[in-house]
Amino acid sequence: MVMLLGQYSTGKTTFIKHLLKTRAHIGPEPTTDRFVVVMSGTDERSVPGNTIAVQADMPFSGLTTFGTAFLSKFECSQMPHPLLEHVTFVDTPGVLSGEKQRTQRAYDFTGVTSWFAAKCDLILLLFDPHKLDVSDEFKRVIYSLRGHDDKIRVVLNKADQVDTQQLMRVYGALMWSLGKVLNTPEVVRVYIGSFNDKPVNEAATGPIGKELFEKEQEDLLSDLKDIPKKACDRRINEFVKRARAAKIHAYIIAHLKKEMPAMIGKAKTQQRLIDNLEGEFGKVQRDHHLPPGDFPNVEHFKEILSGYNFDKFEKLKPKMIQAVDDMLGYDIPELLKTFRNPYD
């Protein structure tokens, strides 16, 4: 699954159309007002969100947690296509900027994108040379992709609208804006090109530009073709990530339960634990020798904890933790042996 994110009119829908060589309604204003999953099917049809979310053979049942407000803005577009047999595309509504952000969406946009990010194999962030600023909503969306940095690729689309000298400056400005948001020491991979069906505007780009765009497009397509090969590895990777997260969650919950008093001052102690959650995370980390990078986001965790009563939490069951450790230590390596080892 490949998700496309970007501000409106950066060419997300056109990008999918260009790869599939099909038609769809597109305009310079924010046209895609919904999440559209483009996938393989026997005939061309569009399935509404509420229907697709309850279909047992589709992987979208988890989206019901975002409610009807979101599902009415979600649909699945099916069509027969050789590329779609291997790759599913998720087209998203353009991320808003400026004043429009304040007219809130009826659903948790950031939550939905992070749900898809966990399921996707590749996340493409699209920019165009005239929209390099990263708006507040886009910033929140990129922050919600934390932990999926290996899946992110950046596409500088519509690059044939500027000449070579401007393109060089635009590329520099894009890296500068991204550096502030992505907060990673590594450089993110950027593909430059013009992903639409029109021929490259050679008057602006010159002969070097055309050659560059063709090479970049080939690189991006080979990246997309690699997805099905790596899908199995990625599933195991996500599974291991989730198992680790569950184990740490169990340790945290058991620790909070243990810190609660037997009789008096429960509410006060609970509030103190929530306020000093970072310190409590540190204790759990030291007690069980856990890596700090595996712990969840403190602020987000605080928010969720405030709605629970710590007294009702479960105690730690060492047998269950041992089962997870055995699974990570023995079962997963055994499972991996059944796949072909590329290093043999």
Residue ranges of domains in the chain: 2-198, 240-338
The CA distances from residue 334 to 108, 214, 236, 327, 328, in Å, are 40, 42, 12, 10, 10
In terms of CATH architecture, what is 2-198? 3-Layer(aba) Sandwich (3.40)
* Maximum mean pLDDT: which of 208-212, 276-280, 311-315: 276-280
82-106 pLDDT per residue, tens: 888 888 888 888 877 655 555 567 7
- Per-residue pLDDT band for 19 (boundaries 50, 70, 90) equals confident
Is the pLDDT score of 35 beyond 80? yes
Is the pLDDT score of 26 beyond 50? no
33 or 98, higher pLDDT: 33
In terms of CATH architecture, what is 240-338? Orthogonal Bundle (1.10)
To which H or E segment does residue 2 belong? strand 2-6
The CA distances from residue 98 to 74, 94, 133, 134, in Å, are 24, 13, 11, 10
Average pLDDT, the chain: 81
Q: What is the pLDDT of residue 61?
A: 86
Is the pLDDT score of 344 beyond 70? no
The single-letter DSSP state of residue 219 is H
Instruction: At 248, list the tokens.
Output: 């740490």
- Per-residue pLDDT band for 30 (boundaries 50, 70, 90) equals very low
**pLDDT average, residue stretch 118-122:** 87
